[in-house]
Every structure is written in C-alpha cells, then in structure tokens.
Structure 1
Amino acid sequence: MTRRGRFRGRAVDPSVDAFLGIRYAEPPFGARRFAEPDPVDPAGPPVDCLGFGPLAPQAALLPGTPLWRPGHEDVLTLNIWAPPPAPEPRPVLLFLHGGAYTFGSSAQPDFDGAALARAGLVVVTCNYRVGFEGFGHVPGRPDNRGLLDQRAALRWVRAGIEVFGGDPDNITVAGHSAGATSALFLAAAEPVRRVIAHSPPNRVHTPGFARGVAEWVDTTTPESTVLSAARLAKAQRTGPLSHDPVLFGPVADRLPTVPPHVDLLLAHTDVEYRLFEELGSFRVARTAAELLRFGRDWGIPDHVVTAYREFPDAHTLLAGDFLFVEPTNRAFETHPRAHLARFTRPPAWHNADLPFCFGNLRGADFLIGGAPGPDEHALARRVLASWVAFCTTGDPGWTGVHHWGPVVEPRRAPWRGVPLDPTFGHLPIPPT
C-alpha cells in the first residue's frame, strides 16, 4: 500500500505507484442519466484506489478486459501511475481510449501507464460514457456527453495532480482513434500544453443523424439502450453505414482546430483499415463496381476510387486513407507546431503502434503481428521515448515527418484538391 495525499494506491515496483479507479464525477445514472457530468472535489476523506472502476455501458467483448455489468454505475473514474516525488513537478499525460465512441475502457492492458511513468511522466487514463449514453441524442439533454466527461476528467487532473507529483501547467492530452479525435476536441475546449493524436478519424455526425439513430434506440434502461443500439448497428446491411456501422460520435459541424500555440504530435499507420478487415467488421469490396459504390456511399469522388484500383488492397487502402491518413497529413501541414509520425512497420494497421507507445508488448502479439523480439523491444523504447520527450518539451526528437518502420510515401496524389467533408448525415436503416 502506498499513499499520496488522501489516496491509497499500490506500488507497482520501487519506481512506480498506481492509483486506480479514482472517481472524478458522480455516477451518471438515475437523475443524472444523460446529464452533464457532476464533478467531485479532489479533496475529501481517504479513499482506496486499488482497482479499475466499472466500464461504461457497452456490448463489446474485449479480450483480457473486464465486461460491462449492468448495475455497476460508478463509471466516471480515472487511473494514475506516478513516479517517485521529484524536486520539480513532472509532465502529465492524460490519455483517452478509443473504440469507435462505442466501446473500450481505461482498464485495457494496452493502456497500463507504468512504463511511461518509469520514464518520468505522471500518466492518467480515464473512463467516459460511450455509445448512446455518451453520444446519443436525448431531447432536453446535452449532446456529446462523453466529451463533457473528458473535460471533467481534465479539470480534476488540473486541480488534483500536484499531490501525485504532476505539473498542472504541463498537461498533454492524448488519444488513439476515437480517443484521438476526443483529444482534439478537448484541446479546443480546455487549456492544455500539448496534444498527441494517433489515427484520429475524420468524422463527425450531424444533429439529424443523431436524431435518426435515437429514433430506434430504447433508452428505458442502460441494458435496453445497449441492446437496441447493437441491433440497429447489425441492421445496416446496405448504404453508407453498411461498410462500417459506427452509429455514435461527436455531433458537430466539423473537427476542431488545435490552437496554434499548442504543440501537436500527429500519427497514422500505413494501412489503417486492414485491422477492421482482419476482424471482419469491414465489408470489403470484391469488384470494381462494389468499390465504386463504396466511394459514392462515402462521398469519395470517382476519379479517386479509380486511382486506387491499381492497388491489391484497393478498398482497404481507400477507406483508411479517406478517414485517417489524408486528413492527418493535412492537419499536420496546416498547424505551425505539428510533428507527424507514420507507423509503417508491418502489419502497420490501426492500433499497431499503441503497444510501442506505452511500452506494453506483452500480450500484444495480434496487434503487432507476432511475438515481440529484440527488434520490437528496441522500437518500443524509441517510440516511448519520443512520447516522453514530446510531453516534456514539445519535441519528440525530429522535425517534420518521421517513420517508425520503412519509409513509405502516402498515396496522396489522387486526393489533391478533393475536399474531405467530415460530416456524416445519412440516416440509418431501421432494424427489422
């Protein structure tokens, strides 16, 4: 048992203490359901912080992580990994998990912050409301409740992180996938020093789309909400949502712009959508006509689709470049303090870079394409060091673009002059 102020955690090893399951806001159920988060004060009586908090309501079954259990309502919690006290406060990393705004949690082994803490950061991860609870439209209630949860978590960190040795004036917000886009929204709404965004999807939903989804979701209980939303997702067999049925996400006009004075570290993998193809969640086009239909469903011009037909993995590459790669490259080119990393080490698919960022290769065989060896551990040390350097100084160790793996030029020529509208407003197909 170890203590920081009123918080009792556990020693991971002599160089890192972990404090898990700290409540940053009241449980968002009962009278608080679908409302803005009700923050708690970091000051108060002593509290044990020895295990991760419950997951937010979700249907996903993620290997190696706890399941959502109905009735477990204290879902707005955060976790802290802290190195020993130092003469000067340490940089803080607040990491937001991904999961298509529909699933995931800070309890995933991928996001264990011990290795980053050993390298000198105070690491914070948090749960937030996902799926309909976090992003569904409810008349008279705020949209984007999951983003509001993240703002409440950041404010808790800013108010309470000093007792863990962290510097409240040197906070980096980071995330991957949906968490990366969340980090961009967070940096646009709250003062932060730096942002790390790995593979942020270039997609927001219109109010009309959110209302269309809500029409088919039974919100009587959290259980009925999760089940009916999953049923609606399975019903998307034709049209734009049939290729990748993501029903929830930020309701906004556009993606936010990170303020120009904020340091920005962007990253993408080379073949983002290959992960979804491997998992069977992405319906791949097998013919030229199917590929053209996909492009038109997603608003990709025909000439871009035609240019991709020369690639063996045309559909997979086209989807990943449209949603992740090209928007990330454009964001890098337009921000005055941005750095960009391209992760090209095979399999170079979505999330393949995360185990290297956190230094957590154990149990990551699937994501990284096999059992890690000396080369993989060496790469993890370099990637992790770049995160630590960026969080500390704003310099990840390079200027401009850096490749983790072989140098692979992105497929950018067909996209020249093509607008990348992130708004998604197609109505879902009702379940039968």
Structure 2
Amino acid sequence: MTQHPDPVVRITPGEVRGFWRGDSAAFLGIPFAQAPVGDLRFAAPVPPEPWDGVRDAVAYGATAKREKPGEKTLIPEPAVAGESTLNVNVFTPAPGRADADLPVLVYIHGGGFTEGSPASPWYDGAAFNRDGVVTVTISYRLGFDGFGHIAGAPSNRGVRDWLAALEWVQTNVAAFGGDPSRVTIAGQSAGGGAVLTLLGMPAAQGLFHAAWALSPALGDVPGERARTLAAKLANLAGVPATREGFASVDEATLTGLQERAGRPASTDRLAFVHALLEDGLTWGPMIDGDLITRPTIDSLHAGVGADIPLVVGATDDEFTMVTDGAKNLLRLIPASLALGRLNVDARARKAYLAANAAQRRKGTAAVLGRYVSDVVFRSVVARTAEARGGERTWVYRFSWTSPTIGWACHCLDVPFWFDCLDAEAVPALAGDDPSRALAAALHGAAAAFVRDADPGWPAWSAASGTTRVFGGDPSRPDVIADGYASVRALV
C-alpha cells in the first residue's frame, strides 16, 4: 500500500499540514480569526496573523463551548479548551489541487446559540468527500459573548464570526480543491437558524450560493429585549452594562450568569413553556438595525436571498420526547385545556387540534410536544417556504421514528444527513440498526443539492405545500401535496 506524505497546502496566512484518512484529508483547527480574548473579546473578528513555516492542522481547535462535567447532549459535541476559538476544519478529497473546482459545503453547528461544537465526529466530512464535496465546519462565539447587547461593542459578534468564516472560505477554499463560486451553507437547529439569518442578510450575499436549513430555530431577538437582558446580566454580575464592565467579568462567571439572566421567573411547567414560546431564544442573532434590520422571515419575504436555492425541513416531533416525560401528569388534562394554558386562543386551538387529530389520540403530552415543535421549528419551515414565493425552495420532513426515543426527534436526522451511522453515540439516538437506505436517501439528496442545486424532488415553490417525506410510512408516497398542513393554524 502506497504511503502518502502528509498533505500541505498554502493559504493566505501561511502553510498548513493536515493528514490523510483513506481517500480524503483533514485539516483541523485552522484559525480564520485571532483569539477573541483581551482587547478582542467583544470585538469584531480580526484576521489571523501570518505565520512562518508549516502549521500543523491535525487536531481540533479550541471551542467556544466549555466543558460541563456530566453533561449529556443528543449530538456528541466535545469541548476543547483554549483561547483561539475562531477556527475552521476542512475535509477534502483533493488537497492542494486548486484546479479541482469541487463543490463546497460549509456547516454551522447548533446548540441554541449558547452551546455546540464543530468538533463533533458526526460533522466529519468523509461521506461528502466520498461524493466529491469539500466540507468545512466553522466555529463562532456563543451566548452573551457572541450575541449579547453591549454598549460600545459591535453587535452580533457571533454573526460577524459566520461572515468572517465564509469570507475565509471564499479566499482559501480553492487551496483545498474547492470552488468558491459553488458554496452551500447548511446547519441544524440554531445552525439552521443561522443559515436562514444569513440567507436574509444583505451583508452575506455573495458569500454562498445555496443553503440547506435542518430544523431551523431562529433568533431574531428584538433589540429592546437584548438590552433588557444585558442590563439584567450586568446587575447579576454587579458591573456596569458597558464593554468595560462586562470585560471585567471572567468568561466562566459570565456564562453561568447568562443562564440565570435568561431563565423565566415561573417554575410552573406550562407557564415555563409558555414563556419560552412567547419570548423565544434568549441569546441569538439580534435585530440590531445594522447587520439585521428586521425579522428573518420579513427579510425573505422582501426578496433578500431570492436568487439562492434553499432546502428547508424538520423532524416530525422535534421536542415531543421532552413532554413525553410528563405524560402521566398530563394524561388527565384535556389537550384543549393545556393549549389554553399556553394562551392559544379558542379558534386557533380548534383548528390546530383538528389538523393534529392523529397526534391528539396519543395523548396530551404528545399534543404539547408537537405544538412546541411546531411553534419553534416546523412553522418556521412553512413560513420560510411561503415567504420565498416562487423562488427555488424545496421542503422535506424527517418522519423516521427512533427505536430508542420513540419519536422522530430533534437531532435524529443529523447522522443520516451526514451518512455517519457508525459514528460515536449514534445508537443512543437511532438504535443499533438504523436504516442505511434512509441515510443513503437523505445524504444522497444533500450531496446532489450541493453539487447541482437540486435535491431531486419537486419544489414547494412550484406547487405550494409539496413536501418530500424521509422515513415515513413505506406504503405511502415519498412526496406529498401538503406536508405541513398540520401547522397551518400557526402560520
């Protein structure tokens, strides 16, 4: 067997050395910006300093996510210690071949804009490399450091990190065999929200050419709410709500306090859910009047990003597993009454329950779980597709039920999308024998879209409601006429 030498490529700041693993190479932890510490902690990202010689890129770089002992997440997303948290990972079958002109996938991790890591084994680009796609995963600042309002500091620093990473891709991806004119961005959950935010952001136009949003959770934090939260956080920290004040608080302390600042006051289970549904995410992209001037759906409706093809979809029961834990407590409460406690008005309740009759038969916990899933994720899919009108938009549902969780739950689609069913921790979410055919279908559609800007099923934009169902009832068609009819009462 021929032993390939470690691949070395030259990018703008200097040379980087990766490593081969089979027929593709990995380059890990390459900085796209300087470490956001000291004077740069609350600054816009600053390009990295050039280096001499060859820089090793053989281990994941530091992550904005910090270690939490005993923490278990649906997706294994390791925390890597260190300060230089703004980095990219590149997986490529053609390192150093600037003439390869392969399509490029840039993936943005999720985690509610406060957690998550690009170092997950699920995000390895091996399967996309196999299919002729260069894959890049990016990091960004999280929580208050990335998204909180700070007087005297640039707004939306995490969003600026996304932009800086995409600019890095435009400048450097050819060195890894990628074509900067064929970049698709994708992400799941908060990462899917990031995709839609970038799609509707004038400042991001030209940095990518197609987009795929998995289970998108939008931030769209109103400016006034962001300022109120910042004041609350400053009060908890005992510092002025200024750049200097927040900079005087160490990262670990501020991260702990940001959870308290965003916590609803009520401890009642339904009131707690209601507060989250009404207020949305605490930390995330803010409507700042600069980068983001209006809610994302409004921006898409106004035609921003209209020339960019989009695929958007969600799992059928994103968060039903959460309410499922309370099914014994909820079994005697009528679904209509429970929705009323969430301030769903009578007319909307009636329409919603009629449209979700099958779910209603599973009990009140199942209805509430579906409702939360619909408000946070699935209605965003339908609203996004409708907002784009006749522009190229494809919609899907992931309906395969996890044998371990019991629902088509949040994050379940990710290892199928990446075709990494043998990766660490997949059995905990997808069982010991997940469907290889389903992975081939979903990943195949993703690879086709990155290559050809068409995932292979009829577009919603050609006939409103058209939806591809992955992992549904095999006796029914894969493409249905109105796949999100059950959320229309919320749209």
Q: In the alignment, residue 304 of structure 1 is paired with which amino acid?
A: A
1:367 aligns with 2:429: yes
Matches of 1:2 and 1:285, distance apart in 2: 59
* Aligned match of 2:195: 183
Out of 306, 311, 314, the position equivalent to 2:367 is 314
Answer yes or no: is the 8 Å Cα contact 1:216–1:228 preserved in 2.
no
Which segment drifts farther, 150-159 or 339-348?
339-348
* Aligned match of 1:195: 211
1:356 aligns with 2:416: yes
* Aligned match of 2:241: none
Answer yes or no: is the 8 Å Cα contact 2:60–2:80 preserved in 1.
no
Q: Tell me the TM-score normalized by structure 1.
A: 0.86
Q: Tell me the TM-score normalized by structure 2.
A: 0.76
Structure 2 unaligned blocks of 5 or more:
1-5, 238-245, 288-293, 402-406, 460-466
Structure 1 unaligned blocks of 5 or more:
421-432
Out of 71, 91, 105, the position equivalent to 2:117 is 105
* Aligned match of 2:462: none
Greater relative contact order, per chain length (Cα 8 Å cut-off, separation 6+): 1
* Aligned match of 2:349: 305
* Aligned match of 1:424: none
Over the aligned positions, Cα root-mean-square deviation in angstroms equals: 2.6
* Aligned match of 2:61: 53
Output aligned runs, 1:52-201, within 5 Å: 52-58=60-66, 61-62=71-72, 64-67=76-79, 69=81, 72-84=82-94, 88-187=100-199, 188=201, 189-190=203-204, 191=206, 192-201=208-217
Matches of 2:325 and 2:86, distance apart in 1: 29
1:325 aligns with 2:369: no
Output aligned runs, 1:208-247, within 5 Å: 208-217=224-233, 218=237, 219=246, 220-234=249-263, 236=265, 237=267, 238=271, 240-241=274-275, 246-247=281-282
1:220-260 alpha-carbon deviations (Å, 9 max, x no partner): 11111111112334554355435798421111230142512
1:369-424 alpha-carbon deviations (Å, 9 max, x no partner): x1124xx11211221111111011111111122110225865636735x5x5xxxx
* Aligned match of 1:4: 9
1:47-96 alpha-carbon deviations (Å, 9 max, x no partner): 11011111115575345443364xx2110011000013565310000000
* Aligned match of 1:430: none
* C-alpha spacing 1:226/1:382, structure 2 compared with 1 (3 Å): same
* C-alpha spacing 1:365/1:214, structure 2 compared with 1 (3 Å): same
* Aligned match of 2:284: 249
Shift of 1:39: 2.0
Shift of 1:304: 2.2
Q: In the alignment, residue 73 of structure 1 is paired with which amino acid?
A: E
State how many pairs are aligned: 406
Matches of 1:284 and 1:39, distance apart in 2: 53
1:321-358 alpha-carbon deviations (Å, 9 max, x no partner): 12211221232234310111111111322221111110
Matches of 1:245 and 1:234, distance apart in 2: 12
Matches of 2:57 and 2:63, distance apart in 1: 16
Matches of 1:54 and 1:124, distance apart in 2: 16
- Which structure has the larger Rg? 2
Q: In the alignment, residue 90 of structure 2 is paired with which amino acid?
A: I
- What is the DSSP-based 3-state SS (H/G/I as helix, E as strand, rest coil) of the residue aligned with 2:232? coil
Out of 44, 48, 54, the position equivalent to 1:36 is 44
- What is the DSSP-based 3-state SS (H/G/I as helix, E as strand, rest coil) of the residue aligned with 1:18? strand
Percentage identity across aligned positions? 30
Matches of 1:55 and 1:116, distance apart in 2: 23
1:412 aligns with 2:472: no
- What is the DSSP-based 3-state SS (H/G/I as helix, E as strand, rest coil) of the residue aligned with 1:171? strand
Matches of 2:449 and 2:373, distance apart in 1: 26
Matches of 1:291 and 1:242, distance apart in 2: 14
